[in-house]
A and B are shown apart, each in its own frame.
Chain A
Amino acid sequence: MGRLLLRRGAETLLVLLLVSFLIYALIGLMPGDPIDLMLSADPRFTTADAARLKALYGLDRPLLERYFRWLQRALTGDFGYSRLYGQPVFAVIWPRLLNTLLLMGTSFLLALAIAIPAGILAAMRPRSLLDTVINLLAFAGFSVPSFWLSLMLIVLFAVVLGWLPAGGVASVGDGGLLDRLAYLVLPVAALTLLTAGTFLRFVRAAMIEALQEDHIRTARAKGCGAVRIVLAHALPNAMIPVVTVVALHFGALLSGALVVETVFSYLGMGKLIYDAILGNDYNLALAALLLGTALTLIANLLADIVYLELDPRIHDGL
């Protein structure tokens, strides 16, 4: 198992390296470049200045050379300065990352809290009316466009009812806990609804499979109660694949958070990435995108480890 993990870890690093090159190359292909923006901002700027700055930042060098120079500095922890914020990129990223992890973590837990009981209920009587209703709701959950759901929540709860703020992270002049929580409610609700349906389908499928195992039939034959069968005999087995697919869902959760944050003007990584890309902030966009990718890849690696730890059958197979 140790060797397998070592190989998967090495693969993860390789993928991260490839993605970093891909993003580096793509970002240079976006419209406009920072020098042009300086040019338009300052009328005294001459073409000679532009050429000098291009040479200074190494923008006149070939792509591969620029990439390796960036990589060298990145490996020492130097990701450069953000053009939009005038700070080292990670000074900008950290507080945003905490906000996003708060949003994602809360939604993740709430989605599980909905999906596990509902998925079990659906799996206990497949094809029943309850199962059909729960399934339809789950399908609705992963078919709804994230940004539209966010907009509709704003219309309902902020515009029509006026119960909750429409967007942002805190009221001006008020940074109290309750105030901040009020701003979290709608984004968390949106992301939870988007995620719960997918999780529910995972739980349901895994439970149906687990309930068909031989040892469940044995337990039933011995007169074990339905609740005990589900909770003590089937659920632990069903949770093994669920843990894995849920961890693999990290990337999708991050994508969802990105959209939700943009609509609610929630100051997280998603909005940061979006602003950085549209604002030609190369260093910031690159670091933020790579961090998002790295976190997703780490979550996938964790999914593998947890899977190996939970399922003794796999140990025997290796």
Chain B
Amino acid sequence: MTVSEATLPGRPAGPLHRFRRRPAAVASLGLLLVIGILCLAAPLVARLLGTDAETIDLLGRLQPPSLAHPLGTDELGRDVLLRLLYGGRISLLVGLGGALIASAIGLVIGILSGWIGGLFDRVTMRITDAVIALPLLPLLIVLAAVDPLKLGLPAAFAGGAAASVLRIMVIVALFGWTTVARLARAATLSVKNREFVLAAHALGAPPGRILRVHVLPNVAAPVVVATTLSVGNVILAESVLSFLGLGIQPPLASWGTMLTNAQELMFGAPALALWPGLLIFLTVLTFNLMGDGLQEALDPRQSRHP
């Protein structure tokens, strides 16, 4: 879709134009870029401040904001701003990674059940319904509490803080694929019997090519929207699990784990509990508003905003 097409009188505006018309979505994208870039630039900020996120200063504990520590220090005298930025890297990584894994699973399941149909479709959709119906958090807690060593997984995956990042992404993805699966299936079904697909069949195109060239582009729009919306949910799930002590393991920290420590000091230092939660809240909110704007932009007919 070209720009000139969008400006033609009487023609519907292009996706970019429709997205730009939603101030909440545009503001969200901006805020998200700011948060993302700051988190990526954490080492730079550290050099600017002349300290790093791990430096413990027991004499300078729980200090109020100052020039050296713009957001003060925590219960071990570490710089709160730097810890927030490094924690944000983990939270965003898990959010994006988990949502992408979940979408990939959902995409494969959805397209296959829409394409193959029959018994395979019935069984996978029943499973999808069942997973949607389950109470999510208790099961996530059980899964997160599982000892990977008892599963016979190699110690590299089982132990260590870095492994906990990968593990949490996989766990969250195990329950997060259902929406994408449903959308992908519906989109596949809607194009499966259209003329251009039938024509491709008749011309002898192999199924792999038909799926890639004709089906995937039509499935993309709803899946992109659902993935954006699920990033927020994954970040929320990760933060809850980390808050309960079952997610990201120290010495790594995410916004969720920072809140665990802050809870114990809530009465003396409430500001410590304010910042990580506020960042989770803002990040999740921006992803949700952006998903909403994308839905409007990519699929105005199905959008719930007339």
Contacts and interface: CB of A to CB of B under 8 A. Distances in A.
A255 B243 contact: no
A155 B273 CA distance: 9
Given A126-B305, A159-B267, A277-B141, A139 B289 contact: yes
B162 interface: no
B15 interface: no
A55 to B, nearest CB: 20
Range for the number of chain B residues in contact with chain A: 35 or more
B146 A159 contact: no
Given A127-B305, A254-B135, A255-B136, A145 B273 contact: no
B90 interface: no
B159 to A, nearest CB: 12
A296 interface: yes
Contacts of B147: 29-31
Given A143-B284, A255-B138, A277-B145, A151 B263 contact: yes
Nearest to A288: B138
Contacts of B151: 29
B273 A258 contact: no
Contacts of B138: 254-255, 258, 273, 289, 292-293
Q: Is the interface of A mostly helix, strand, loop or mixed?
A: helix
Interface in B100-142: 126, 130, 132-139, 141-142
Contacts of A292: 135, 138
Interface string A250-262: 1110111011001
Contacts of B267: 159
Interface of A: 11, 15, 18-19, 23, 26-31, 126-127, 132, 136, 139-140, 142-149, 151-152, 154-155, 159-160, 204-205, 208-209, 212, 248, 250-252, 254-256, 258-259, 262-263, 273-274, 277-278, 285, 289, 292-293, 296-297, 300
11 contacts: A15-B130, A29-B146, A127-B305, A143-B281, A145-B240, A151-B259, A151-B262, A204-B304, A212-B306, A259-B240, A293-B135
